Amino acid sequence: MITYENLHDTLSFYSIDCRQSYYISSGNPIFDFPEAPFRMDYYALCICTAGEISIEIDNQKYDVDAHCFLVAAPSTIVKFLETSKDFKMKLLFFDKNFLIKNISNPFIIEKMNLFSSGSYSIVRTDEKNSALLQNLLDYLRKKSRQQGKFTEEIVRTIIFNLLLETADIIETENNNVFEKEEGKKDIFLKFSQMIRDNIRQHRTVQFYADQLFVSGKYLIEVIKKASGKTPHQVIDETLLKEAYMMLGNPDITISEIAFELQFNSASAFGRFFKKHTSISPSEYRNRESIQ
């Protein structure tokens, strides 16, 4: 079984040379999909324009059809399960550093509240909203092909417009009223980003509280109010995502995974994994035919 470690490798599956800071698809039908899960290393916006697809995101299964869209942050783990013959989608991948060039606030994307499920959102909207996003993607693709003095800035502006329209749709569809206290909101956003960056080395709540210059008690209060989960639960969920991803690579032993994830032993890793999934790491590999 081949494991695509990141989106770059997965795009190569389609013979796409993605060396730029963004990629916009043609929207043509796709007839073949990689079987292995892969980790997003770009931000992504994907819109289903026809047909249906079953997809697994961070180990949660979703059935997606026309006028549904996915918006995802780096670290999201995606696996294609099944598609209808008439399935089509339009998508955009972009690098955050490209988008926030010359912008002082590094959390501007997070402030849009795009990710209702941690690092992604799947939203079913209406034909009008779907057409709005598709038209912006088409315009973006057209402009990206015009090599002019201001092409990069035009592309960046259109992507911002897309994200803002997407955020507006998500807020309307989900009636999602986010925490309005900016100081607490910033802590939640920074906490989420820090976990994604440090999960293999650090998984104590106190480490992240110290990095954010707040008490552990205050961090628990903020994260609980923003996400409905404790910081420890968020850390465990992110750690489990890493475990799933590494278990998908048959070249890495379970003992090596335990060491990489800072467990004291393979047994300790096994207990953690079984607590959250009800099966052992080896049982998971056997079930998924990873050998």
| The Cα angle at residue 83 between residues 77 and 88, in degrees rounded to 5 | 90
Provide mean pLDDT across the span 49-64.
90
pLDDT in tens, 5-27: 555 555 554 455 555 788 888 77
Provide the 3-class DSSP secondary structure of residue 88.
Answer: strand
State the number of CA atoms in the 13 A half-sphere of 131 facing the CB.
3
Residue 25 confidence (pLDDT) = 84
Residue 4 confidence (pLDDT) = 43
pLDDT in tens, 146-169: 888 899 999 999 999 999 999 999
Residue 179 confidence (pLDDT) = 44
User: CA-CA distance, 110 to 159, in Å (whole number)?
Assistant: 15
Helices 216-227 and 182-198 meet at what angle, rounded to 10?
Answer: 100
Q: Where in the chain is CATH 1.10.10.60?
A: 182-287
Domain 7-174 belongs in CATH node 2.60.120.280: yes
User: CA-CA distance, 246 to 263, in Å (whole number)?
Assistant: 14
Provide mean pLDDT across the span 47-69.
91
Share of the chain above pLDDT 90, in %: 45
User: CA-CA distance, 34 to 46, in Å (whole number)?
Assistant: 17
pLDDT in tens, 65-82: 999 999 998 888 888 888
Provide the 3-class DSSP secondary structure of residue 1.
Answer: coil
Q: Where in the chain is CATH 2.60.120.280?
A: 7-174
- The domain at 182-287 falls in which architecture? Orthogonal Bundle (1.10)
